[in-house]
Amino acid sequence: MGQATKVLQLFKTLHRTRQRVFKNDTRALEAARIKINEEFKSNKSETSPKKIEELIKMGSDVELLLRTSVIQAIHTDHNTLKLVPRRELLIENVPYCDAPTQKQ
């Protein structure tokens, strides 16, 4: 797969992940959209294949981090937050379990 294809695929994947992670949060959705677009525009003229691969790796790492580590929180009261984890983040958390399993 060519580098241009990888870059475009990463761009689309980041935006899809943004839409899932920040679902129903218009401010976070817009901020993430702007940040993703700015990062891609700022590196648009990069020609070094090695540097492009490094940027693709960094973008993939960011996508993985967003997908696996970010949990939404909603202010429900003055001092209260309600956590809204996505289904794919819920894992069985048994003490001393070396290999957690996905909840169904």
Q: What is the pLDDT of residues 8-59, one digit of tens each?
A: 999 999 999 999 999 888 999 999 999 999 999 999 999 999 999 999 999 9
> Is 56 domain-assigned?
yes
**Highest mean predicted confidence (pLDDT) among 21-25, 92-96, 99-103:** 21-25
Measured between alpha carbons, how far is residue 81 from residues 12, 18, 20, 84 in Å? 31, 21, 20, 10
> Is 84 domain-assigned?
no
| pLDDT band, very low/low/confident/very high, at 83 (cuts 50, 70, 90) | confident
| pLDDT band, very low/low/confident/very high, at 98 (cuts 50, 70, 90) | low
Structural domain including 51 reads: 3-72
Tell me the pLDDT of the chain averaged across its residues: 88
How many domains is the chain partitioned into structurally? 1
> Is 82 domain-assigned?
no
pLDDT top residue among 77 and 99: 77
The predicted pLDDT at position 35 comes to 96
User: For the residues 54-80, what does the mean pLDDT come to?
Assistant: 90
The DSSP result for 17-85, as a single string, is HHHHHTTT-HHHHHHHHHHHHHHHHHTTT---HHHHHHHHHHHHHHHHHHHHH--EEEEEETTEEEEE-
> Is 104 domain-assigned?
no
> Is 86 domain-assigned?
no
